[in-house]
Structure 1
């Protein structure tokens, strides 16, 4: 049998100790990295909560009214006033869109449905008056404008038109007393966009 010197034994022991130290160091580094990752994730989560809170606090506030032009008029006037918050001061873009009533339409229409006519129908009482204040031919949207705190945005409305397979009297009976449903989309540089919803009752003129 080959004799093993003390030098060889000490070298072997040193190697084992070095290996243990290395594994311990690697394990400590792993846990340190994991802790750092968890700390970063927690910091990111806290930062996101703070951003969400700030975004919510800065949500634009509007007063929206719609008034008929007369007791028997088929036209109305929409007035949107930018009321706050005071810290927001201005909006780079405010865009209005009339929403449909939320139901599925066109199912079971005799002879099939006209997809384009369905898409062009405003399923609600009013639409933006086409060609006025930049409103398109369908009357669904009013183009974006900038606003500063206290500004008023006035838009002309007219009664919506039924699709060809629906009776006009039925249409007025169905939507005549319904609110106008709106999207109000707002943008300001440095902020995430806001999309606000309003259901606005149509009022008769006073006096």
Structure 2
């Protein structure tokens, strides 16, 4: 009885073919993963290169009113933003209603602007709290003005006058959070501005 050389050779060939196929699949998988990683890095770089650049100024125009200008400076290849939303940020304190009740709920605390300035309520689409005006489009090289005003103590802050409230926030900055969108892209940008009430007295 002879040794089954043909079957052995065929088996070896099949094993080598399977190994080669497996190696090709692994190589293709590695190549695909590398291509995906490179594409992701390029998308992130492209997104970062398009980060909106703003020139934002806030100047006091009256005893309790300030003029905010939001100017989109670039980058030039961004061209425009479909939507810009500006919101006033709170200070760094935790604001929890320890004893919520009819006078003040946690929702009241959350809606209240904890800082020196807010947007003028019911102006440019802002609600009664003055947290944020309505979103708006903006083209590179153009700006948008807004009026802001001193915040006032909450109705539940018994015994706190407007003067006391402003003195408490005299050295605090005005914090803004800008959420910018173009197509499916989104950028969130935080800015801290000097309190114009403080700088005007300097």
**In structure 2, how many angstroms separate the alpha carbons of the residues matched to 1:145 and 1:107?**
33
Bigger mean CA offset, 103-112 vs 145-154? 103-112
Unaligned runs of 5+ in 2: none
SS of the equivalent of 1:143 reads coil
Structure 2 counterpart SS, 1:56: helix
2:93 aligned counterpart, secondary structure: coil
Mapping for residues 167-182 of structure 1, pairs under 5 Å: 167-168=160-161, 169-182=163-176
1:76 alignment partner, one of 59, 66, 70: 66
TM-score scaled by structure 1? 0.85
Provide the C-alpha distance between the structure 1 equivalents of 2:95 and 2:41, rounded to a whole number of angstroms. Answer: 40
User: Of residues 188, 196, 199 in structure 2, which corresponds to 1:195?
Assistant: 188
Q: Residue 103 of structure 1: CA displacement?
A: 2.1
Q: Is the 8 A contact 2:170 2:195 kept in 1?
A: no
Q: Residue 111 of structure 2 corresponds to which residue in structure 1?
A: 120
User: RMSD between aligned alpha carbons?
Assistant: 2.2
Whole-Å separation in 2 of the counterparts to 1:39 and 1:117: 55
Please give the per-residue CA displacement for 1:77-132, whole angstroms capped at 9, x wherever unaligned: 11111111111121111110111113211365598962122112111111111111
Deviation at 1:162, TM superposition (A): 2.5
User: Which structure has the bigger radius of gyration?
Assistant: 1
Aligned residues: 195
Q: Which residue of 2 aligns with 1:59?
A: 51
Contact 1:121 1:161 in 2 (8 A): no
Structure 1 runs not aligned, ≥5 long: none
> Structure 1 residues 26, 170: closer, same or farther in 2, change over 3 A?
farther
Matching of residue 102 in structure 1 with residue 95 in structure 2: no
* More divergent stretch after superposition (12-21 vs 85-94): 12-21
* Alignment partner of 1:129 is 2:120: yes
Provide the C-alpha distance between the structure 2 equivalents of 1:142 and 1:14, rounded to a whole number of angstroms: 82
Q: Displacement of 1:25 after TM fit?
A: 1.2
Query: How far apart, CA to CA, are the structure 1 residues paired with 2:187 and 2:22?
Result: 42
In structure 1, distance between residues paired with 2:52 and 2:69: 16
Alignment counterpart, residue 183 of structure 1, candidates 177, 188, 202: 177
Q: Which is worse superposed, 104-113 or 38-47?
A: 104-113
Rounded to whole Å, the distance in 1 between the matches of 2:179 and 2:109 is 24
- Indicate the residue corresponding to 1:146 in structure 2: 137
What is the CA deviation profile of residues 34-56 of structure 1, one whole-angstrom value per residue up to 9, with x for unaligned ones?
A: 11111111111111111111111
